[in-house]
């Protein structure tokens, strides 16, 4: 099962309790998913388990966490599975935060990161202080509290500061990863998720940018507007499929997100001055 976060949470509000603004998204869920998940995170994430566990499946190893751990993940795509906890139940709190939140945190507390190392995945053991933070955040969902997003941000600051105090080198490497990859964040999100992008609106949702901001960023990165970039990327995928697969033109059009075969052929001819079938014949 592929899940794009935090978009999936807002698209399935009946499954989550949500506290959010434009920089931080906090969700609580008791919904257990038995299948392995392919998570496409468009924001950074800290996972706080109230009951149950999670396993992060990496290329050469697995990381399993439970209620004695917290897990920091920088923006990226991950395979993960969930584990039922006590009394056959599952309960987790996810806190998503963006680049700007991290930059503001570093500036606010005048933090110096004396490291060149970068860590995109950081599991840490919980202690009494961290458990108290998590229990307090959990209470924000249990009770109707005004200014709850601001209170969550204070607790997130506490978690960051405490993680720095417990092991500055490791947590500084996690923050450094975010800082060093900020300029390519939008590029990575779009290029790693091109297979689920069917429109400029999808691009806006994934990057959490409005259309004006997206156009500005795409011009900076590619010297193209979003629609031009999307058309070119689709056609690159189409060319690869024409050369390296037995899929029909109709199947390729669908795989590349075109609404119809005729529109795919029109766009293909516009860029390559020939039809998909002729292109395939000429490049066998």
pLDDT in tens, 158-197: 999 999 999 899 999 999 999 988 878 999 999 989 888 9
Does 50 share its domain with 127? Answer: yes
Rounded mean pLDDT of 203-226?
93
Is residue 120 within 8 Å of residue 77, measured between CB atoms? no
| Last-in-domain residue among 148, 180, 212 | 180
- Identify whether residues 173 and 197 lie together within a single domain: no
Q: What does the alpha-carbon distance between residue 257 and residue 119 come to, in Å, rounded to a whole number? A: 34
Identify whether residues 134 and 198 lie together within a single domain. Answer: no
Tell me which residue of 260, 262, 194 sits closest to 231, measured CA to CA.
194
> Ranked by mean pLDDT, which of 33-37, 142-146, 275-279 comes out on top?
275-279
Residue 27's domain is classified under what CATH number? 2.60.120.280
Measure the CA–CA gap between 214 and 195, rounded to whole angstroms: 19
Q: Which residues contact 140 (CB under 8 A, 6 or more apart)?
A: 19, 26, 148, 151, 152
What is the CATH classification number for the domain harbouring 209? 1.10.10.60
In a shared domain, residues 103 and 34: yes
Does the structure show a pLDDT above 80 at 268? yes
CA distance 216 to 6: 23
- By CB atoms closer than 10 A (0-12, 13-18, 19+), residue 147 is exposed
| Model pLDDT, residue 217 | 92
Query: Are residues 258 and 193 located together in one domain of the fold?
Result: yes
Query: Given this model, what pLDDT does residue 92 score?
Result: 94
175 and 197 inside one domain: no
Structural domain boundaries, residue 17: 2-180
Q: Last residue of some domain: 117, 148, 180?
A: 180
Instruction: Please report which confidence band the pLDDT of residue 269 belongs to, taking 50, 70 and 90 as the band edges.
Output: very high
Q: Is the pLDDT of residue 87 over 80?
A: no
Residues 190, 119 share a domain: no
The residue behind tokens 């066998």 is 284
pLDDT of residue 259: 84
227 in the same domain as 151 = no
State both tokens at 227: 């629609």
Domain count, the chain: 2
Distance CA 6, CA 21 (A): 12
pLDDT value at residue 72: 98
Give the pLDDT of residue 2.
Answer: 87
Which of residues 122, 151, 180 is at a domain's end?
A: 180
Residue 27: the pLDDT is 95
**Residue 256 and residue 116 share a domain:** no
Quick one: 139 and 234 in the same domain? Answer: no
**In what order do the strands lie in the sheet containing 2-5?**
2-5, 37-41, 76-83, 53-57, 62-65
Cβ-based neighbours of 70, under 8 Å, separated by 6 or more? 46, 47, 48, 123, 124, 126, 130, 134, 159
Residue 160: which residues within 8 A CB-CB, separation 6 or more?
105, 171, 175
- Cα-Cα-Cα-Cα dihedral sign, residues 203, 205, 208, 212: positive
Q: What is the DSSP letter of 161?
A: H
Same domain, 76 and 175: yes
Question: 45, 6 in Cβ contact below 8 A?
Answer: no
Residues 218 and 176 in one domain: no
């Amino acid at each position: 099962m592929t899940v794009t976060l935090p978009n999936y949470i807002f698209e399935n509000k009946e499954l989550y309790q949500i506290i959010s603004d434009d920089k931080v998204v906090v969700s609580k869920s008791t919904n257990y998913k038995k299948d392995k998940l392919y998570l496409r995170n468009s924001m950074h994430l800290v996972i706080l388990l109230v009951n149950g566990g999670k396993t992060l499946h990496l290329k050469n190893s697995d990381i399993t966490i439970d209620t004695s751990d917290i897990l920091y993940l920088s923006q990226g795509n991950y395979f993960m599975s969930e584990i039922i906890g006590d009394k056959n139940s599952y309960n987790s709190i996810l806190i998503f935060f963006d680049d700007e939140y991290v930059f503001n945190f570093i500036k606010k507390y005048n933090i110096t990161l004396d490291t060149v190392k970068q860590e995109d995945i950081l599991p840490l053991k919980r202690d009494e202080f961290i458990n108290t933070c998590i229990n307090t955040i959990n209470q924000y969902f249990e009770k109707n509290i005004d200014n709850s997003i601001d209170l969550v941000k204070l607790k997130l600051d506490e978690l960051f500061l405490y993680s720095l105090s417990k092991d500055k080198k490791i947590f500084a490497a996690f923050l450094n990863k975010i800082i060093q990859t900020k300029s390519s964040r939008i590029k990575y999100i779009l290029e790693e998720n091109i297979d689920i992008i069917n429109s400029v609106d999808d691009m806006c949702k994934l990057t959490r940018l409005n259309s004006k901001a997206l156009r500005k960023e795409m011009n900076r990165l590619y010297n193209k507007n979003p629609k031009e970039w999307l058309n070119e990327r689709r056609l690159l995928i189409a060319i690869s499929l024409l050369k390296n697969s037995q899929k029909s033109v109709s199947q390729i059009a669908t795989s590349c997100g075109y609404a119809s075969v005729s529109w795919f052929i029109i766009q293909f001819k516009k860029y390559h001055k020939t039809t998909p079938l002729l292109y395939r014949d000429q490049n066998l």
